[in-house]
Amino acid sequence: MSATPLLELRGIDKSFGPVQVLRDVALSVHPGEVTALVGDNGAGKSTLVKCISGIYPTDAGEVLFNGEQVHIGSPRDAATLGIEVVYQDLALCDNLDIVQNMFLGREKHSGIVLDEPTMEQLAAETLAGLSIRTVTSLRQHVSSLSGGQRQTVAIAKAVLWNSKLVILDEPTAALGVAQTAQVLELVRRLADNGLAVVLISHNMNDVFAVSDRIAALYLGQMVAQVKTTDITHAQVVELITAGRSGGLGLATDPGSNGDGPQPADSISGGVR
Amino acid sequence: MTTTAVRKEGPAAVTPPPTVGSHVRNYVSRVRGGDVGALPAVLGLIVLCTVFAIMRPSSFLSAGNFANLFTQGAAVTLIAMGLVFVLLLGEIDLSAGFASGVCAAVLANVVTVLGYPWWVAVLAAVATGVVIGTTLGMLVAKIGIPSFVVTLAGFLAFQGVVLLLVQEGTNISVRDEVLVAIANRNLAPALGWALTAVAVLGYAAVQLLRHRNRAARGLITDPIAVVALRIAGLAVILGTAVYVLNLERSRNVLIVSLKGVPIVVPIIAVLLVIWTFVLQRTSYGRHIYAVGGNREAARRAGIGVDRIRISVFVICSSMAAIGGIVAASRANSVDPNTGGSNVLLYAVGAAVIGGTSLFGGKGRVFDAVLGGAVVAVIENGMGLMGYSAGVKYVVTGVVLLLAASVDALSRRRAAATGTR
C-alpha cells in the first residue's frame, strides 16, 4: 500500500436543484487495493462515481489524482487520467463482437481503415493478461455471451487503456454464483496487477471477499472509511442503514440527520 | 472460477483452426439460432425466378428481360442502399421516395429549364439531397422528434415541392445525352468484361491479403478453401451475368444493336463497394452499428451520437437523390409522380427483404441490392404474367410483411437462443 492515494477526494458537494446528494464527501483510493464503496439506495454512490468519471460536475470540493489537483470536466478527461468506469448495464453493444466492443470509440487505424488484426491481438493480450479463459472466440457477438462473460469483457475493456483506476458499478448484481466468483476473482486480479479498484456493491459477501478497504456512504455523507480487516459484517450493515456503528460513523447528533435529509434520500434514489 | 476455468485453456488456444466443415457447421448453427442473414432473400429470389421461369419461360428468361430487371430495379435499389443506414440506427425515412422526386425535379429544372450542363444538374440534385437529409437529421437528433413523424411530414411536404417544381402537373423532359444514357444505354461488351475482371481481381486481392495478414500475425483465419470458394463464386456469378448481358437482345439487329451491361449496373456496384467499405472498414461505420445496437453504450464510449444520427439521414437523402437521377433518366422526364406511389414502399421493402433489421443494429448495404433484386423480379414477373397494378401492389405488400415477419421472428428466436 503506497503512502499517496491514487485518487483523493476532499469536501465534494453535489446538489440536484434543492436536493443535496453529496455532502462534504472525502474518499481516498490506493493503487493495488480494492476499495468497496457501500451504501443504501440513494446514498449517493452512483452520483459520486459519476462525479469522478466526469459525467456530473461537482459543486464544491477538490479532486487529487496522484497527489496533484485535477479538474475532471468530462468523461474524456477521466479517460485521459486513466479512470475507467464499468457500468452495471448499458456498457456493451450486443450487435458487435468482443474486439469491436473493447475498442469502441477508440478504434485503431491504419490510414482511414480500421486495423482489425492489431485490435484483435491487443484484445487477446489483454484477456490473456487477466487470465480470462472463458471466451471461446474474440469474434463472437456479445449477444451470445453469458452475463458473467459480458461483465468480464466490460472489465477487460476498461483495463485495455492502461487505466490506473477502474470503478465497477455493481458488477455482480445480475450474476449467478459461479459467475460472481469469476468476476470477483478478476476484480482481485486487477488490484494485484497494481490498479486501484473501486467496487460498488450491495452484497456484503462480495465486499468482504475482495476488498481491502470499505467506504460507507449514508445519505450523501461519507460516514466511515476503514480497512476491511478492522470491521465486521454487522458493523458495515449498521453504517449503511444507520450511518453509525459504535465508535464509527456520524456523531450521535440526531438533529443533523433527522427529517431534513430524508426526502433527499428518496429523490436522489430516482436520480441514480 | 475454479468450476469454469478447467474447461478452457486460453483465448487463442481454445478454438481449433477452422476447417471448411466447421465453417459450414457454424453457419448452420447461426441460421438455426435466428441469424438468418441473407438466406430468406436468396431463397425467395430462387423461388420467384423458378416460378416465373416455369410460367413464362420465353419472356422471363430472355436476355432482354434480364437487362430490364436491372434498369427497373436500379432507382429503388439506390434509395434502399441509403435507407439501410437509417434503418441501422432503428430509425426510418418515409420521405426518401419523394426526396428522390424533389432531387429529380431539381435536376430536370437545372438541365432543361435553365440549360446548365449535366454535371451541374447532378451536383445540384445531390446537394438538394444533402440539404434535405441535414434538415431531417437535425429535426430528429437535435430537436428530438421521432423520425417517423419528421419523415412523414417530409413525405407530404416533398410531394408538394415536386408539384411546385414541375409547375403543377406538367412534366419536364430530360433530353441530355449523358443523363439519358445512365439508365438507357449499355457498356461496350469488352468494357463489361474488363470491369468484371477488375472487380473479381480486386475482390480476390482484398480477400487474400487479409488472409495472409491475419495468418502472419497468428490470428484465426477462415480456411483458404472458403476464401477461394468466395472468390470463385463471385467470378461465376459476375461472369454469367455479364455473359448474358453481352448477348444480342435487340429484336431487329439490322436497325439497332442492343447488348452490354446497362450503365446503371457499374454505378450501383461502385456505390455498393464504397458504402460497404464505409460501414465495415471505417470507425464511422463501426459507430453507426454501435449507435444502432446500444445508443447509451455508444454515448459512453465517447461517440458523437447526434452527429451519427444526422449523418445517416444525409446519406439516405443523398442516395435518394442518386436514385431520383436514375429514375429521371429512365423515364426521360420528371413528373409529379416521380419518386411517388410505390417507390418508398419498394425501397423499404428491398432493404428489409434483403435482411436489414427494422429494429436497428443489423444490416448491410448489400442487403439493399439483394432485396432490390427480389422487388424487381416480383414487379417484372407479375407484369409479364399480365397481372394488374392492383395485384402487384398487394403481392409486394405481402412480401414486405413476410420479410418484416422473418426479421421479427428471427429476432425472437435469437433472443431465445441467446445469440442476440
Residues 6+ apart with CB under 8 A from B60: B49, B52, B53, B380, B381, B384
The CATH code of domain A7-82+164-271 reads: 3.40.50.300
Shortest distance, CA A248 to any CA of chain B (angstroms):
35
Quick check: B182 and B325 in contact, CB under 8 A? yes
Q: Which residue, chain included where needed, has cell 428481360?
A: B65
How far out from the chain centre does Cα B161 lie?
A: 26
Which residue of A143, A151, A172 is the best one to mutate when testing the B interface, meaning the one whose CB has the most B CBs within 10 A? A143
Taking CA atoms, A186 is separated from A79, B7, B198, in Å, by: 21, 17, 51
How much is the pLDDT for A90?
A: 59
Prediction pTM value:
0.85
Cα dihedral sign, B325-B329-B330-B336: positive
CB contacts of A91 in chain B (<8 Å) are 297, 300
| Ranges of each domain in chain A | 7-82+164-271, 94-162
Find, in chain A, the residue whose alpha carbon is nearest to that of B294: A93
Shortest distance, CA A205 to any CA of chain B (angstroms):
16
| Ranges of each domain in chain B | 42-47+55-183+283-414, 186-261
| B279 pLDDT above the threshold of 80 | yes
Which amino acid makes up residue A194?
Answer: G
Residue B414's SS3 state is helix
Measured in degrees and rounded to the nearest 5, phi and psi for residue A264 equal: -55, -35
**Residues 182-241 in B contacting A (C-alpha not used; CB under 8 Å):** 213-214, 217, 219-220
Residue A134 sits at the chain B interface (C-beta within 8 Å): yes
Contact B419 A127 (CB under 8 A): no
Find, in chain A, the residue whose alpha carbon is nearest to that of B417: A144
| A94-133: b (≥16 Cβ within 10 Å) or e | bbbbbbbbbbbbebeeeeeebbbbebbbbbbebbeebebb
Find, in chain B, the residue whose alpha carbon is nearest to that of A176: B1
What is d(CA B393, CA A142) in angstroms, rounded to the nearest whole number?
40
CB contacts of A178 in chain B (<8 Å) are 1, 3-4
Residue B32 sits at the chain A interface (C-beta within 8 Å): no
For residue B392, give the nearest of B382, B377, B402, B381 by alpha carbon.
Answer: B382
Shortest distance, CA B299 to any CA of chain A (angstroms):
9
For residue A54, give the nearest of A165, A195, A154 by alpha carbon.
Answer: A165
What is d(CA B320, CA B94) in angstroms, rounded to the nearest whole number?
11
Find, in chain B, the residue whose alpha carbon is nearest to that of A100: B286
What is d(CA B257, CA B248) in angstroms, rounded to the nearest whole number?
7
A-B Cβ pairs (cutoff 8 Å, strict) = 116
Residues 6+ apart with CB under 8 A from B305: B141, B291, B295, B298, B299
Identity of the residue in B7, B214, B419 whose CB atom sits nearest the CB atom of A144: B419
Split at pLDDT 50, 70, 90, the class of B137 is: very high
Residues 6+ apart with CB under 8 A from B293: A93, A94, A95, A96, B360, B361
How much is the pLDDT for B168?
A: 67
Whole-number mean pLDDT of chain B? Answer: 87
What is d(CA A195, CA A189) in angstroms, rounded to the nearest whole number?
9
CB contacts of B281 in chain A (<8 Å) are 113-114
CB contacts of A79 in chain B (<8 Å) are 302
Contact A185 B286 (CB under 8 A): no
Question: Is B42-47+55-183+283-414 a domain of CATH 1.10.3470?
Answer: yes
**Residues 73-132 in A contacting B (C-alpha not used; CB under 8 Å):** 75-76, 79, 87, 90-96, 100, 104-107, 109, 112-114, 117, 120-121, 124, 127-128, 132
What is d(CA B263, CA B239) in angstroms, rounded to the nearest whole number?
16
What DSSP string describes chain A? --SS-SEEEEEEEEEETTEEEEEEEEEEE-TT-EEEEEE-TTSSHHHHHHHHTTSS--SEEEEEETTEEE---SHHHHHHHTEEEE-SSS-S-TTSBHHHHHTTTS--EETTEE-HHHHHHHHHHHHHHTT----S-TTSBGGGS-HHHHHHHHHHHHHTTT-SEEEEESTTTT--HHHHHHHHHHHHHHHHTT-EEEEE-S-HHHHHHH-SEEEEEETTEEEEEEEGGGS-HHHHHHHHHHSEETTEES-S-GGGGSSTHHHHHHHHHHH-
Identity of the residue in B7, B11, B283 whose CB atom sits nearest the CB atom of A128: B11
Quick check: A165 and A80 in contact, CB under 8 A? no
Contact A121 B217 (CB under 8 A): yes
What DSSP string describes B374-385? HHHHHHHHHHHH
For every residue of B37-61, which 3-state class applies, written as one string? CCHHHHHHHHHHHHHHHHHCHHHHC
**pLDDT string in tens for chain A (272-residue length):** 456 889 999 888 999 888 888 989 999 999 999 999 998 888 888 889 888 888 888 888 889 998 888 988 887 788 888 898 888 765 789 889 999 999 988 888 888 888 888 898 888 888 887 777 777 788 888 888 887 888 888 888 888 877 889 999 888 887 778 878 888 888 898 898 888 999 998 888 889 999 999 999 888 888 888 888 888 888 888 888 888 777 777 765 544 444 434 433 333 333 33
CB contacts of B414 in chain A (<8 Å) are 143
Identity of the residue in A95, A124, A141 whose CB atom sits nearest the CB atom of B12: A124
Quick check: A123 and A107 in contact, CB under 8 A? no
Split at pLDDT 50, 70, 90, the class of B3 is: very low
CB contacts of A74 in chain B (<8 Å) are none
How much is the pLDDT for A258?
A: 41
Residue A234 sits at the chain B interface (C-beta within 8 Å): no
Considering chain B, what percentage of its residues have pLDDT values greater than 70? 94
Residue B414 sits at the chain A interface (C-beta within 8 Å): yes
Which amino acid makes up residue B156?
Answer: L
What is d(CA B279, CA B286) in angstroms, rounded to the nearest whole number?
6
Shortest distance, CA B92 to any CA of chain A (angstroms):
19
Residue B14 sits at the chain A interface (C-beta within 8 Å): yes
CB contacts of A185 in chain B (<8 Å) are 1
Residue B302 sits at the chain A interface (C-beta within 8 Å): yes
ipTM of the prediction: 0.82
Residues 6+ apart with CB under 8 A from B289: A93, A95, A96, A100, B88, B279, B361
Identity of the residue in A91, A120, A181 whose CB atom sits nearest the CB atom of B1: A181
Taking CA atoms, A204 is separated from A171, A207, A234, A242, B250, in Å, by: 13, 5, 10, 16, 83
What is d(CA B134, CA B245) in angstroms, rounded to the nearest whole number?
39
- The predicted model gives B93-97 an average pLDDT of 94
